[in-house]
Amino acid sequence: MRRFIDRVIARLERGKALIRLSNLRRRMFANPPRTSGIERFMSYTVRITDGPNFFMQYKDEFVRRIYHFESARPNPLILDCGSNIGISILYFKHVYPQARIIGFEPDPVIFGILQENVSGNKLDSVTLINAALSAQSGTAAFSPDGSAGGHITDRNNLTVRVEQLSAYLNEPVDFLKLNIEGEELPVLLESASSGKLRNVREMVIEYHGWADGQQRLGAILELLDQQGFRYMIHDFDHETSSMTKPPFRFLKNKPWFCLVYACRVEDL
């Protein structure tokens, strides 16, 4: 009964969100598009980097609910890898106010905005770490885009701290969000080799692929299978990911991406 009531409430909230989405789209994509500043939505006040990026995150995370999961406990442990300005953290706290969240964001400028958005909305039980994730801890060159993200690179644009995900998998993790711009496979391989990836109950990976880069999606899916996960693959809509829509083509230096949802077999 409780789950049925929760689903009804969720549908009502989603209807309201669709109305807000239409209004938000008009404002964020005005001519010229909305740039940095303060934005208010629902009960939150956030500082944004640019209008289109904020709109995409709100649409995908609050309306499409790409990171939604059903927790067996009221205070789930969530690892938010690639927190950006914190919209996903706000969503997790909206659904599970008692959630314990660890958020990772390597870009020092974006990290400052993330801290402001978490503290400004008085979110408790949230730990923020100014670091990237990869197979080895230490430091790495990082290429920020100043808005939606950035990635580890061989160009020495910016040096950032790097952590191993396995260091944070010492207890059961209810949900893992992995949006780390191409480092998905190295991070998962390291976590699996440590024996700790099996502590994750559910996850959503945002896979990033480049026309001239290594193809890693197959290896990720094989690893998930070996580690006892069942998976599904989902595409974004045209507005968020036009690269994966027909007519198909690869454009150099322009990534394509999709979502991989995985759940441990024993939790089905």
What is the predicted pLDDT for the residue at 206? 95
Report which of residues 157 and 214 the model is more confident about: 214
How much is the pLDDT for 59? Answer: 93
What value does the mean pLDDT of the chain take? 89
Compute the distance between CA of residue 150 and CA of residue 155 in angstroms, rounded to an integer: 12
Contacts (Cβ under 8 Å, ≥6 apart) of 46: 38, 39, 40, 54, 85, 86, 87, 90, 117, 120, 121
Strand arrangement of the beta sheet that strand 126-129 belongs to: 126-129, 100-104, 77-81, 173-178, 200-209, 256-264, 229-234
In the prediction, which pLDDT does 11 show?
A: 72
CB-CB contact of 181 with 133 (8 Å):
no
pLDDT for 20 beyond 60: yes
Following DSSP, what letter does each residue of 181-195 receive, concatenated? TT-HHHHHHHHHHTT
Number of residues that this document lists for the chain: 268
Tens of pLDDT, residues 185-211: 999 999 999 999 999 999 999 998 888
Q: Quick check: 133 and 163 in contact, CB under 8 A? A: yes
pLDDT of residue 195: 96
pLDDT greater at residue 27 or residue 200: 200
Q: What's the pTM?
A: 0.89
The amino acid that residue 260 corresponds to is V
Task: Determine the Cα–Cα distance for residues 86 and 99; give it in Å rounded to an integer.
Answer: 14
Domain ranges in the chain are 72-267
Judge whether residue 147 has pLDDT over 60: no
Provide the 3-class DSSP secondary structure of residue 240: coil
- The answer to whether the CB of 230 falls within 8 A of the CB of 268 is yes
pLDDT at 51 over 60: yes
Determine the pLDDT at residue 150: 59
Return the pLDDT at 31: 74
Residue type, 101: I
pLDDT tens string 84-125? 999 999 999 999 999 999 999 999 999 999 999 999 999 999
Whether CATH 3.40.50.150 fits 72-267: yes
Residue in 207, 29, 208, 36 with CA at minimum distance from that of residue 110? 36
pLDDT of 161 higher than 60: yes
Instruction: Give dist(CA 268, CA 265) in Å, integer.
Output: 6
Q: What is the pLDDT of residues 57-69, one digit of tens each?
A: 999 999 999 999 9
